[in-house]
Amino acid sequence: MESIVNQTLKEIEIIIVNDGTKDNSIKKIEKYFSDPRIILINKENGGISSARNAGLKIAKEEYISFINSDDFIELTMLEDLYSNSEEAEIVFSNIINYDNKTKKKTYPKRKLEFVNNINKGSYFWNYSPISTLNKIYKRDYLERNDLNFIKEIIYEDTIFSIKALFLANKVKYIDKFHYNYRINRNGSTMTITHSDRKKEKFNSFNLLAINSLKIIVKEIENFEKKYGKN
């Protein structure tokens, strides 16, 4: 929240989705609610896809960014991406891996031939992570193509990113590092250690992962049938 409310770009709409939390998360951020830019959605727990879809449904501004509750962004991220958007449908920069245990940052770099030009989204497929987190999306582009998130799966970014990138005619890359993706965080859904392998938690995660990938593969097949000729 600190990294969002203190963005150098002040004219932003901040949508917080309370996805049925049962801890004191809301208490921790109550101090920010006096900010007139903030809109709070309280809903029953439905997972990250359901939460993002709820935010998409009420968003009114020109571009949309998704920020996970356990990550943070550089203070200039939204201004850098928006001010250089040139009306692109998607604008993205680089992700920083922030180690939650050591507090160290690493900067994975991707080399792009046309770093300051706008290109079709398919060009960037090999260069941009399959993630929504390092990007801003033109809202009317998402609405026009009915792009939202499949509920009750993990790896939900995968199929969204495939569709969003391959349908986009104008995508721009900004050669900066903005999004701090937190790794080695205790309690993360994606953190399954070797010691968990014989536990029920690991088995249920495996089943969820397999079922999610089956759904994603089917979605990709349907998408290819519809748009493959293009």
Query: What is the pLDDT, as a whole number, of residue 52?
Result: 97
What average pLDDT does the segment 128-147 reach? Answer: 94
Q: Where exactly are the structural domains of the chain?
A: 68-227
pLDDT at 19 over 70: yes
Instruction: Name the pLDDT band for 142 (thresholds 50, 70, 90).
Output: very high
pTM, full prediction: 0.89
Residue 114: helix, strand or coil by DSSP?
coil
Tell me if 118 sits within 8 A of 171, measured CB to CB. Answer: yes
pLDDT at 49 over 70: yes
Alpha carbons 144 and 164: distance in angstroms, whole number: 11
Buried b (16+ CB within 10 A) or exposed e, 150-159: beebbbbbbb
- Termini Cα distance of the chain: 41
Which candidate, 221, 117, 127, places its Cα nearest to that of 165? 127
pLDDT tens string 168-212: 999 999 989 999 999 998 766 555 544 555 566 668 888 999 999
DSSP states of 22-49: -SSHHHHHGGGTTSTTEEEEEE----HH
Structure tokens at 130: 């399959």
